[in-house]
Structure 1
Amino acid sequence: MGQVTIYLEEDTERKMVAAAKSAQLSKSKWIAELIQEKVANEWPRSIVELVGAWEDFPDIDDIRSDQGKDTNREKL
């Protein structure tokens, strides 16, 4: 497991400590989770859980139904 040293301004550190405490995590674990969220290649669980939440949400065909046909691009 790698280690990283970071330097924070006092105000930023104070906010980070409060956020970690609020989440009931150590500072290291809070920062690690934040980094994991930023580099994830998947949707966050909170977003995935919204799938199907709107029964009347239109599908892609409904959304595109009133769009006309695209014109051909000019050749360069």
Structure 2
Amino acid sequence: MKQLIVEIDETTEARIIIAAKTAGLSAQQWLKRIIDEKTVSSWPDSVKALAGSWQDVPFAEELRSGEGREKTY
């Protein structure tokens, strides 16, 4: 496993330690989790499953079908 040295100020270090303890993790585990979450390259399956689930929403073409026409009231 590789090691990475990062210089941080004392306030940031304290925040990391507190957040890690709150999550029940070591500082290294907590930082890895944050990095994994922030560098994800695809949508989670739960989000992918939502695609097409709103059938009652009109498509853009339908919404724009009246554009350019004068409205009569």
* Structure 2 Cα separation of the partners of residues 51 and 44 of structure 1: 9
Q: Deviations over 1:11-68 (max 9, x none)?
A: 11111111000100000011111111122112257xx26945xxxx734961412124
Listed as ranges, the matches of 1:57-76 within 5 Å are 58-59=54-55, 62-64=58-60, 65-68=62-65
1:30 matches 2:30: yes
In 1: Cα distance, 2:30 partner to 2:22 partner? 10
Alignment TM-score, normalising by the size of structure 1: 0.63
Specify every segment of 5 or more residues in structure 1 that has no aligned partner in the other structure, as ranges.
70-76
Counting matched residue pairs gives 64
Q: TM-score, normalised by structure 2?
A: 0.65
Structure 2 regions of 5+ residues with no counterpart? 67-73
- Name which one, 1 or 2, has greater alpha-carbon Rg: 2
Amino acid at match of 1:62: P
Q: Distance in 2 between matches of 1:30 and 1:66?
A: 46
